[in-house]
Structure 1
Amino acid sequence: MKLARKIRMGMVGGGPGAMIGPIHRLAAALDGQIELVCGVFSSSHKKSLETAKSIHLAPDRVYENFQQMMDEEAALPADQRMDFVSIVTPNHMHFPVAAAALAKGFHVLCDKPATLNLDEAIQLSERLNSSGLLYGLTHTYAGYPMVKQARALVAEGVLGNIRKVLVEYPQGWLAGSRIELSSKQAEWRLDSARTGLSSCVGDIGSHAAHICEYVINDSISEICADLGSVVSGRILDDDATVILRFTGGARGVLIASQICAGEENTLKLRVYGEKGGLEWSHSDPNSLHYKPANQPAQILRAGGPGLAHVAAANCRTPSGHPEGYLEAFANHYRNFAGQIDARLTGRNPSDVEADVPGIADALRGMRFIESAVKASTSDQKWYRLPPLVGIDN
């Protein structure tokens, strides 16, 4: 994928002590097609300048706040200003930064979840539609080639009608009490003012829900949820089990937990249809296990033969050379940059470039988070997710 020029990126968030910001910067730089040209990395200008110095970014493109960045970047000549902003802040800042960027004519790529709540996501969708600009959401796991291969196989009908979806995402990093006193990452994720209604479902449950919907290309329609604050003293959930029903008739189970002591980041997806099943695990992301009914199981490998076009296009190395988390992130950045390049050059984006989670994923994600919280406190067995205008058929 050759672009006419480098795509210029600004960043909000990702300063000292941040976890995801540096990962976004590495991912954006991986293919040499995106250049970080400006930023507001912290609410402290001094800390923003420290970050800029550490990554060799010119101090005159480091701004006091995000609104100043939008105003001054928009005033620059077209061949200097940023093309899009990457938002890597805690959740409560996602909407105001995105709204400010859209108002000044900049495309937006945002870490998930899209906003603090569903109402903000709906407002964001309305502003995006009226702006005509591009929006992407970095649901990392949809960037893995073998997750894309799983989606392609389901779309081809290899499994037949989908019957069952099982997804689990156990972590153990919040298993201890009072960890938020010593961890910046835990501190804001357990604060409802900055993370929203949910910690566990908002942080990792939303990833689990997204990978289900992405692979089977279907929406969650009803849920039965049990969210809990296992560690004493917590207000927000750190553990969740959600039974799923999909629009197309499939049923599923989603388990997400941050208190599974000893676990790291163990996302696993299994999909079963009438003709066979698929299994993908984050611990071995370059393999996709295909289990046809009444035939020997197969293992498809990233970079290997027989992959769908979109999966092969998101592989960088030959089979046997591991690709992982950074490359999956980088796929979203590279493909989003391709969409911007298509706008700049007047061409239609390719199917590969178009395969970046967008505003529909943002809306469904926020709907799932809020619905899981409401369903967990409801006496109703099955909670039907509210319809989204322009998203649900």
Structure 2
Amino acid sequence: MSNKIKWGVLGGGGDSLIGVLHRVAASMFDAYQLTGAVFNPDVHVSLAFAKQIGISTDRIHANLDDMIAAELARPEEDRIQVFSILTPNFLHFPMAKQLLEAGFHVICEKPMTMTYEEALELQKIQQKNENIFGLTHTYTGYPMVRQMKQMIANGEIGAVQKVDAQYYQGWINPLIHDQEQRATTWRLNPEKSGISCCMGDIGVHAYQMLEYVTGQKVQSILADLNHLYADNQMDIDGTVLLRLGEYTKGVLRSSQIATGEENNFTVAIYGKKAALKWEQENPNYLYLLEEGQPLRVLKPGHGYNSEFSLDGTKLPPGHPEGIFDAMGNIYKGVAKAIRGEKFHEGEFPGMTDGVRGMNFIEKSVQSHRDGNVWVTLES
């Protein structure tokens, strides 16, 4: 009998941009078995997709209610253990809530919920039921991001003085200038996306990354957002000033109208002794800067890297790893947690990251709305 974790998927069907990413990631390390799904609101589409990717249709269901009822009717050893939620934002909270209350573990795309209030409610449910909850801030799975985190924790760059994160995309630029065209994307519909587009979609990645690698919490922010058109309800660009402490400050820049940019996510942490820089589009290079010294480039798979970094490296040095591998490392961490195995702190983002992320999104909108003023994040 297979000892793989039985895994279910909500969303992520044939027209999903992220479905294949999650399926490939879950197949790494031979930890999961795709067992059942609701790929699409139309069960016929779900069944057809299941046949297309070669999985049994016995546990393909029309909706989540039917899926949960059918799984709970099975012997515990035969039930799906964890579900991935790969749907649009507005479905994350109700689906996660229902799954956690039914006793299942959850892996969820970000943002975790539509509101900070929902995030707090979900946190209480998870704490009560002691479920494993993973949030796919995918970039934390890169080996050199993990190396960056470990080096900062070890004090190798000294006390952190300044942080700088940039996440620039240009994909909305062809749509935003035409009122009819911009109505075609759910990202610009607050009923499906939430109160923020840019900060809610990619700005929150940069925010979470800064807290992840530094091990520090952002205490207060000042945001200046851009909607570009008066009739566009959602931010598509913005700059946020950050205070992590009295003498530790920084900036977060995020845009979906940075013309020609693809997925330009960069993080720089400046310490008293040295600095570290990482770029998502070249993820296998971590740059170490020191006063009076030549630039050093650290790469994955080498013995000089931390145990944490090496644990997320699958190939020998010189063999590039990418976004599938990063997501695979997050799935690997969740699998360890489900099995009760020892895992590194930071192997997968979780409920706290989701709660803090939603707080950041709402406070960014509040800061901008109230006249670009400093607001305090909840602790």
* Letter matched to residue 327 of structure 1: D
CA distance in 1, matches of 2:179, 2:254: 19
Partner of 2:351: 359
Q: Report sequence identity in percent.
A: 37
* Structure 1 residues 125 and 183, CA gap change in structure 2 (3 angstroms): same
The answer to whether the 8 Å contact 1:277/1:292 transfers is yes
Matches within 5 A, 1:343-354: 348-351=341-344
Deviation by residue 1:151-204 (Cα, 9 ceiling, x = unmatched): 0010001111101011101101101235796799x7111110111000000000
CA distance in 2, matches of 1:71, 1:97: 14
CA distance in 2, matches of 1:28, 1:182: 35
The Cα of 1:76 is off from its aligned counterpart by 1.0
Deviation by residue 1:3-43 (Cα, 9 ceiling, x = unmatched): x9211110111123211122111111122211110011111
Matches within 5 A, 1:166-245: 166-177=164-175, 187-230=185-228, 233-245=231-243
Partner of 1:370: 362
* Letter matched to residue 349 of structure 1: K
CA distance in 1, matches of 2:303, 2:292: 23
The answer to whether the 8 Å contact 2:175/2:182 transfers is no
The answer to whether the 8 Å contact 2:10/2:86 transfers is yes
CA distance in 1, matches of 2:373, 2:94: 36
CA distance in 1, matches of 2:329, 2:319: 17
CA distance in 1, matches of 2:333, 2:293: 36
Moved more, 51-60 or 258-267: 51-60
The Cα of 1:148 is off from its aligned counterpart by 0.5
Instruction: Give secondary structure in 2 for the equivalent of 1:305.
Output: coil
CA distance in 2, matches of 1:216, 1:322: 25
CA distance in 1, matches of 2:55, 2:39: 11
CA distance in 1, matches of 2:267, 2:220: 19
The Cα of 1:74 is off from its aligned counterpart by 1.6
The answer to whether the 8 Å contact 1:177/1:232 transfers is no
Deviation by residue 1:227-256 (Cα, 9 ceiling, x = unmatched): 111256421011011111114741111110
Partner of 1:137: 135
The answer to whether the 8 Å contact 2:329/2:347 transfers is no
CA distance in 1, matches of 2:259, 2:115: 29
* Letter matched to residue 357 of structure 2: G
CA distance in 2, matches of 1:244, 1:290: 23
CA distance in 2, matches of 1:249, 1:355: 29
* Structure 1 residues 379 and 328, CA gap change in structure 2 (3 angstroms): same
* Structure 1 residues 382 and 182, CA gap change in structure 2 (3 angstroms): closer
Moved more, 19-28 or 81-90: 19-28
Instruction: Give secondary structure in 1 for the equivalent of 2:78.
Output: coil
Selected match of 1:291 from 282, 289, 295: 289
Deviation by residue 1:100-152 (Cα, 9 ceiling, x = unmatched): 11111110110111111111100000000100111010101111000000000
Instruction: Give secondary structure in 1 for the equivalent of 2:54.
Output: coil
* Structure 1 residues 379 and 232, CA gap change in structure 2 (3 angstroms): closer
- RMSD of aligned C-alpha atoms? 1.8
The answer to whether the 8 Å contact 2:220/2:243 transfers is yes
Partner of 1:345: none
Selected match of 1:163 from 161, 164, 167: 161
Selected match of 1:304 from 291, 302, 305: 302
CA distance in 2, matches of 1:327, 1:8: 21
Instruction: Give secondary structure in 1 for the equivalent of 2:77.
Output: coil
* Structure 1 residues 190 and 335, CA gap change in structure 2 (3 angstroms): same
CA distance in 1, matches of 2:266, 2:170: 15
CA distance in 1, matches of 2:214, 2:287: 16
Instruction: Give secondary structure in 2 for the equivalent of 1:209.
Output: helix
* Structure 1 residues 249 and 63, CA gap change in structure 2 (3 angstroms): farther
Instruction: Give secondary structure in 2 for the equivalent of 1:79.
Output: helix
Matched, 1:318 2:290: no
* Letter matched to residue 363 of structure 1: V
Selected match of 1:50 from 36, 48, 59: 48
Partner of 1:383: 375
The Cα of 1:55 is off from its aligned counterpart by 1.4
Instruction: Give secondary structure in 2 for the equivalent of 1:30.
Output: helix
* Letter matched to residue 296 of structure 1: P
Moved more, 26-35 or 102-111: 26-35
Moved more, 114-123 or 16-25: 16-25
Instruction: Give secondary structure in 2 for the equivalent of 1:220.
Output: coil
Stretches of structure 1 lacking an aligned partner (at least 5 in a row):
343-347
The Cα of 1:378 is off from its aligned counterpart by 1.1
CA distance in 1, matches of 2:182, 2:323: 22
Stretches of structure 2 lacking an aligned partner (at least 5 in a row):
none
Q: How many residues align?
A: 377
CA distance in 1, matches of 2:313, 2:336: 16
TM-score, length-scaled by structure 1: 0.92
* Letter matched to residue 348 of structure 2: V
